[in-house]
């Protein structure tokens, strides 16, 4: 089980790293939320950067799928319900990010061939595709919050991870849900949403470190 835990932790770490590089670094360098022409110009001038962004999103999908399968395996014997929930919610979020990467690939195709854009308006079409991709990430936060809650419950109820870590994961899951709801349905500033997800970030980093370094505690007799 220790080997499985460490593989799961490495996949979870990959999810965090690839997500940060793609969503927080590559995407802002290409997408101008208020200027469709600028978005198209940025993509046209640097197709390679968008291709990197697509590859990073696909790596996020792969990492999350491996992590979800790993948590399912780790939790199955002690808490089958928690294992099924974490695996299902993790895979659901991976599917949404897979859709996001498809939208980015479509934006790349439109930037190269204006005939693909309705009415020949490449800028508006690319902007719409990027916006839909952003929304996929926002609503995907619901599944990301949902997968933290059974993860935390497993830690609390079995003692195979630190109890405080479990509590932090449950709180972080609730915060993720609040952030996803507020981000998708309101105009709350991004800075406020970032503050809401701090407990989740701390809990996830702790879980990644624990899995990679320690693995998982033995089951109680």
Tokens of 42: 């940025």
- CA dihedral sign of residues 205, 206, 209, 211: negative
Q: Where does the pLDDT of residue 210 fall: very low under 50, low under 70, confident under 90, or very high at 90 and above? A: very high
Count the alpha carbons within 13 Å of 42 in the hemisphere toward its beta carbon.
20
Residues 93-109 have a mean pLDDT of: 94
Does residue 50 contact residue 30 with C-beta atoms inside 8 Å? yes
Q: Report pLDDT digits (tens) over 105-120.
A: 999 999 998 888 888 8
Tokens of 173: 């899951």
Residue 117 DSSP label: S
Q: Domain map of the chain by residue range? A: 2-213
Q: Where does the pLDDT of residue 57 fall: very low under 50, low under 70, confident under 90, or very high at 90 and above? A: very high
Q: Report pLDDT digits (tens) over 181-207.
A: 877 666 766 666 777 778 888 999 999
CA–CA–CA angle 174, 197, 168 (5° rounding): 55
Q: Where does the pLDDT of residue 221 fall: very low under 50, low under 70, confident under 90, or very high at 90 and above? A: low
Among 152, 169, 180, 185, which Cα is nearest to 96's?
180
């Amino acid at each position: 089980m220790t080997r499985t835990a460490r593989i799961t932790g490495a996949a979870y770490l990959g999810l965090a790293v690839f997500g940060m590089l793609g969503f927080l670094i590559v995407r802002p360098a290409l997408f101008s939320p208020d200027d469709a022409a600028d978005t198209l110009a940025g993509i046209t001038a640097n197709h390679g950067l968008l291709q990197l962004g697509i590859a990073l999103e696909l790596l996020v999908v792969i990492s999350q799928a491996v992590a979800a399968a790993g948590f399912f395996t780790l939790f199955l014997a002690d808490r089958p319900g928690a294992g099924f929930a974490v695996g299902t919610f993790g895979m659901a979020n991976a599917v949404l990010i897979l859709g996001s990467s498809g939208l980015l690939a479509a934006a790349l195709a439109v930037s190269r061939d204006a005939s693909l854009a309705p009415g020949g308006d490449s800028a508006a079409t690319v902007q719409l595709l990027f916006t839909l991709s952003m929304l996929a990430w926002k609503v995907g936060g619901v599944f990301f919050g949902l997968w933290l809650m059974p993860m935390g419950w497993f830690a609390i109820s079995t003692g195979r991870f630190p109890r405080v870590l479990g509590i932090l994961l449950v709180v972080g899951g609730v915060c993720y849900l609040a952030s996803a709801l507020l981000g998708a349905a309101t105009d709350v500033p991004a800075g406020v949403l970032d503050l809401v997800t701090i407990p989740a970030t701390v809990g996830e980093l702790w879980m990644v470190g624990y899995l990679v370094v320690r693995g998982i505690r033995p089951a109680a007799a």
